[in-house]
């Protein structure tokens, strides 16, 4: 039944790999005990990722500031880890702002992004002296009124519209920037311009390098108006590798529509391998020479006395978590099966982008009672469906090559899901419980766990 089929084995942090391989009974017990899918979180790995980014800034002798993009995962433990690591947090709502404060992040270390922010969010940001990325002239005018009423000076960045994409709804055009600069120069008691920001789609280091050079030139122009900007925010979008280069290349070459349930076709996939990912991508940006310059971006930042601010989300969560579902049943469909699990695709959120989370889920078989016959090891292909009444509720449309036929009580482990996959659009559809998040510590003789936040038990 399983011959030459596409596979995409995930890369694993050795500590997490050892935990899964060495504590399968513990994982089964936790899934049984909580009677729900589970998200396993590893803030220790988050801290290591922060250190890797900071090391690049130090090695390039760049004054920089890292802000964790909180939207990438709602877990409290990562905001706490950000505070403990001494970095800031990027937020876009009053809820995210409040959680960052509760985690111990100072207001001055909170960045506020997003379009047309609510009055409540702007007032909260002003009162806590947070750094606000202004997205429009109208928003700047509203903020000036709010800060004037509060008799405070709001700290701001002006968000630049991406030059490579004219249809983006975010940021200020060149003309709008000129107007905003004049406004900032005339209202310095109400707003203090600290610099310029941008956020680019895609994962090109060179595009970010070039856009950063434009932001630097904007800083120079602002200084001529009597302003004192000192910061360039290059945003996020740092690529992350979920699989090896060879496995990703082989998968792209091998997969076909009939490898997916219902011959499902997707418009595109996340690049599951990148030769320049995470902190290495930051290094490439800083080491790059912008098209209009003769010096590297790092050298220009030092020359102009500018600080580089960045907002990684997914990249700080690389290898910082995985998700476990329990198999409820398997329906045979000829040459493959459909495994139904005790959760929904809302907990593997790549479907939000009309795509699929491609790294292979792993089958963790339940231990059989001695009285039952042993399971056969014949390979078995199956896609994975959610426990809802929606035909489109598929965690994995692809027919995965499992080592044996899944059975009720088996577990499926989805690897490396902490960044954007876990909870971007989770829903308690059908009154199903939201998967609890368990925080794991692996620095002792045995793993320790705790619940990240309160949640509703089934039927509660």
Ordered domains of the chain (ranges, CATH): 14-42+319-451 (2.40.37.10), 44-239+274-316 (3.20.20.10)
Q: Looking up tokens 């004049």, which residue turns up?
A: 182
167: left (phi over 0), alpha (psi -120 to 50) or beta: alpha
Please list the residues that pair with 88 across neighbouring strands: 67
Helix (H) or strand (E) holding 197: strand 191-197
Distance between CA atoms of residues 165 and 145, nearest Å: 31
Please choose, from the candidates 116, 198, 210, the residue with its C-alpha nearest in 3D space to the C-alpha of residue 162: 198
* Number of neighbours of residue 116 by Cβ within 10 angstroms: 10
The rounded distance, in Å, linking the Cα atoms of 17 and 27 is 13
The Cα 12–Cα 361 span in angstroms is 12
Q: Supply the pLDDT for residue 455.
A: 46
Q: Do 44 and 443 contact (CB within 8 A), yes or no?
A: yes
Q: What is the pLDDT of residue 371?
A: 52
Residue 403 to residue 226: CA distance in whole angstroms: 67
Indicate the burial class of 16 (C-beta count within 10 angstroms; 0-12, 13-18, 19 or more).
buried
Sign for the CA dihedral angle at 203, 134, 302, 294 comes to positive
The pair of structure tokens assigned to 343 is 């959760």
- The predicted pLDDT at position 284 comes to 99
Q: Where are the alpha helices (DSSP H) in 203-331?
A: 205-224, 245-254, 278-287, 297-304
Secondary structure (3-state) at 432: coil
* Tens-digit pLDDT profile for residues 330-352: 999 999 999 999 999 989 989 77
Separation of alpha carbons 131 and 193, rounded Å: 10
d(CA 97, CA 112): 8
Q: What is the enclosing helix (H) or strand (E) of 382?
A: strand 380-385
Q: What pLDDT sits at residue 368?
A: 56
Contact 381, 400 (CB under 8 A): yes
Query: CA angle, corner 261, sides to 256 and 265, nearest 5?
Result: 50
Tell me the angle at which helices 24-34 and 14-22 cross, rounded to the nearest 10 degrees. 80
User: For the packed helices 137-150 and 119-127, what is the interaxial angle rounded to 10 degrees?
Assistant: 50
Instruction: Supply the pLDDT for residue 397.
Output: 98
Could you write out the DSSP letters of every residue in 17-58?
A: HHHHHH-HHHHHHHHHHHTS-EEEE-HHHHHHHHHHHHHHHH
Tens of pLDDT along 240-273?
A: 999 999 999 999 999 999 999 999 999 999 999 9
Written as six digits, the tokens of 378 are 């014949």
If phi > 0 it is left, if psi is from -120 to 50 it is alpha, else beta; for residue 7 that is beta
Closest to 65 in 3D by CA, of 104, 92, 93, 105: 105
Report the distance separating Cα 227 and Cα 242, nearest Å.
43
| The residue to which tokens 């659009």 are assigned | 425
Asked if residues 115 and 136 have their Cβ atoms less than 8 Å apart, the reply is yes
Helices 174-186, 137-150: inter-axial angle, 10-degree rounding: 20
| Full pLDDT tens readout for the chain, 460 residues | 445 789 999 999 999 999 999 999 999 999 999 999 999 999 999 999 999 999 999 999 999 999 999 999 999 999 999 999 999 999 999 999 999 999 999 999 999 999 999 999 999 999 999 999 999 999 999 999 999 999 999 999 999 999 866 788 999 999 999 999 999 999 999 999 999 999 999 999 999 999 999 999 999 999 999 999 999 999 999 999 999 999 999 999 999 999 999 999 999 999 999 999 999 999 999 999 999 999 999 999 999 999 999 999 999 999 999 999 999 999 999 999 999 999 999 899 897 788 999 999 999 998 755 555 566 678 999 999 999 999 999 999 999 999 999 999 999 999 999 999 999 888 788 888 889 999 999 988 899 999 997 544 444 4
CB 167 within 8 A of CB 202: no
Measure the CA–CA gap between 117 and 94, rounded to whole angstroms.
10
Q: Calculate the alpha carbon distances from 274 to 39, 155, 200, 204, 279 in Å.
A: 25, 36, 17, 10, 12
Alpha-carbon torsion 301, 130, 147, 151, what sign? negative
């Amino acid at each position: 039944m399983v011959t030459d089929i596409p596979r995409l084995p995930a890369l694993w942090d050795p500590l997490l790999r050892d935990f899964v391989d060495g504590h399968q009974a513990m994982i089964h017990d936790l899934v049984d005990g909580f009677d729900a899918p589970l998200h396993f979180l590893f803030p220790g790995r988050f801290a290591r990722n922060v250190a890797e980014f900071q090391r690049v800034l130090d090695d390039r002798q760049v004054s920089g500031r890292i802000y964790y993009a909180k939207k990438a995962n709602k877990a409290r433990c990562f905001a706490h880890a950000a505070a403990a690591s001494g970095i800031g947090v990027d937020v876009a709502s009053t809820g995210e702002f409040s959680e960052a404060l509760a985690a111990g992040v100072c207001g001055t270390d909170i960045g506020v992004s997003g379009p047309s922010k609510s009055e409540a969010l702007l007032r909260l940001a002003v009162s806590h002296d947070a750094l606000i990325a202004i997205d429009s002239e109208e928003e700047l005018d509203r903020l000036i009124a709010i800060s004037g009423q509060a008799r405070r000076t709001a700290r701001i960045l002006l968000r630049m519209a991406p030059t490579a994409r004219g249809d983006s709804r975010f940021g200020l055009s060149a003309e709008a920037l000129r107007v905003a600069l004049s406004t900032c120069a005339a209202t310095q008691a109400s707003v203090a311009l600290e610099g310029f920001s941008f956020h680019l789609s895609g994962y090109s280091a060179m595009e970010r390098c070039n856009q950063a050079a434009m932001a630097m030139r904007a800083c120079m122009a602002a200084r001529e108006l009597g302003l004192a900007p000192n910061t360039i925010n290059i945003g996020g979008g740092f690529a992350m590798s979920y699989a090896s280069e060879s496995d990703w290349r082989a998968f792209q070459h091998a997969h076909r529509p009939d490898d997916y349930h219902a011959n499902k076709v997707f418009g595109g996939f996340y690049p599951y391998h990148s030769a320049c990912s995470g902190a290495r991508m930051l290094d490439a940006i800083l080491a790059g020479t912008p098209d209009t310059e003769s010096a590297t971006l790092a050298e220009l930042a030092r020359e102009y006395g500018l600080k580089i601010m960045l907002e990684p989300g997914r990249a700080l969560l690389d290898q910082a978590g995985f998700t476990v579902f329990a198999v409820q049943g398997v329906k045979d469909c000829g040459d493959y099966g459909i495994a139904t699990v005790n959760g929904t695709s809302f907990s593997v959120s790549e479907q939000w982008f009309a795509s699929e989370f491609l790294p292979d889920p792993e089958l963790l078989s339940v231990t059989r009672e001695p009285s039952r016959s042993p399971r056969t090891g014949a390979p078995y292909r199956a896609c994975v469906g959610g426990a809802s009444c929606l035909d489109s509720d598929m965690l994995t449309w692809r027919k995965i090559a499992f080592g044996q036929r899944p059975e009720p009580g088996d577990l499926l482990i989805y690897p490396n899901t902490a960044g954007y996959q876990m909870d971007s659009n989770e829903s308690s559809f059908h009154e199903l419980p939201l998967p609890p998040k368990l925080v794991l510590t692996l620095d002792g003789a045995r793993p320790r766990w705790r619940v990240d936040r309160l949640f509703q038990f089934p039927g509660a």
